[in-house]
Amino acid sequence: MLTLTQEEIRNAVRAALHEDVGPGDVTTLACIPPEATAVATMNARESLTLAGIAFAETAFRELSPNVEFVRLAEDGQAVAAGAGVLRISGSARALLTAERVALNFVQRLSGVATATARFVATVAGTRARILDTRKTTPGWRRFEKYAVACGGGTNHRVGLHDLSLIKDNHLAALAGAAPNPVAAAVNRARELWPALRVEVEADTLEQVRLAVEAGADIILLDNMPPARLREAAALVAGRAQLEASGGVTLNTVRAIAETGVDFISVGAVTHSARAVDLGLDFA
């Protein structure tokens, strides 16, 4: 499970403040004296799984190093509608000016965590683990993967560099040049990148068989119905790990998980997660 450094959080928060505040929060500068203080609580307005609380703290603290916090919940924790997650006290200007940036981070990351937690709960008791994908918001890959982990999901590869995932288009390119493109691709990857695992995409049982024989570490079973997944699991018999993928929803995920696959990857938890509702209430 991926962990975030304070530095990358700070950099993202600074960029977000720069983007939102620009040359200055003209309303707050006009209405609020520099010495005024305030106390506020960030409250969940619906039930959610929390992620990103450190982003919120960083946003306020960037504007005023003396802001103080009481954490009422931690990342990864389920929070009921109406419950508080963070109490903030300090410069009123800092609280008002950073409010939107703090909420934008927590709402979106908790949205990813909450969506993930629903999938994870739905497959509870099976061997299957929920994986994220590369269908993330550009610039947010690590933050969203962190949120997936907060929701109980497991992180798949970080990017194109840390696992060889041989897909149909890669195999097509080798089709003319090698009698067994799957074996050729696996061997070539092993030779060039001895430190990396190799995964092979398979659309049919025949391709599953070829992938196992080529020594793939993981086989990606793309868009197969549960019955076919079950056959694939029987055929592989533990010689490789299995990842089911393709159009997975809360309605279908349990049946997939019960086929015996090791992993189910779900793009929707990152590419289409709805921001959950949180708000800042001033005392």
Residues known to be catalytic: 100, 135, 167, 201, 222
Burial group, residue 227, by CB count within 10 angstroms (0-12, 13-18, 19+): exposed
Q: Is 29 in the site for a second copy (CB under 8 A)?
A: yes
Q: Which is nearer to a second copy, 71 or 100 (CB)?
A: 100
Neighbours of 116 (CB within 10 A): 28
Stretch of residues binding a second copy (CB under 8 A), selected from 79-87, 95-103, 227-235, 249-257: 95-103
Closest CA to 65 of 97, 96, 91, 104: 91
> Beta strand pairing status for 218-222 and 241-245?
parallel
To a second copy, the closest distance from the beta carbon of 282 in angstroms equals 6
To a second copy, the closest distance from the beta carbon of 200 in angstroms equals 10
Site for a second copy in 204-243 (CB under 8 A): 217-218, 241
Contact string (CB under 8 A) for a second copy, positions 167-206, x = contact? x-xxxxxx----------x--xx-xxxxxxx-x-------
Q: Which of 80, 81, 158, 234 binds a second copy (CB under 8 A)?
A: 158
Could you give the CA distance from residue 140 to residue 10 in angstroms, rounded to a whole number? 14
Q: Which is nearer to a second copy, 77 or 241 (CB)?
A: 241
Site for a second copy in 240-259 (CB under 8 A): 241
Dihedral of CA 169/170/173/179: which sign?
A: negative
Q: Which of 26, 70, 227, 234 binds a second copy (CB under 8 A)?
A: 26
Could you give the CA distance from residue 282 to residue 42 in angstroms, rounded to a whole number? 9
Q: Which is nearer to a second copy, 123 or 171 (CB)?
A: 171
Q: Which is nearer to a second copy, 107 or 259 (CB)?
A: 107
* Three-class SS state of 69: strand
251 within 8 A of 223, measured Cβ to Cβ: no
Neighbours of 153 (CB within 10 A): 27
To a second copy, the closest distance from the beta carbon of 243 in angstroms equals 9
Q: Which is nearer to a second copy, 85 or 220 (CB)?
A: 220
Q: Which of 58, 107, 207, 245 binds a second copy (CB under 8 A)?
A: 107
To a second copy, the closest distance from the beta carbon of 50 in angstroms equals 17
Could you give the CA distance from residue 229 to residue 260 in angstroms, rounded to a whole number? 8
Site for a second copy in 122-141 (CB under 8 A): 129, 131, 134-141
Cα–chain center distance at 16: 20
**Residues present in the chain in total:** 283
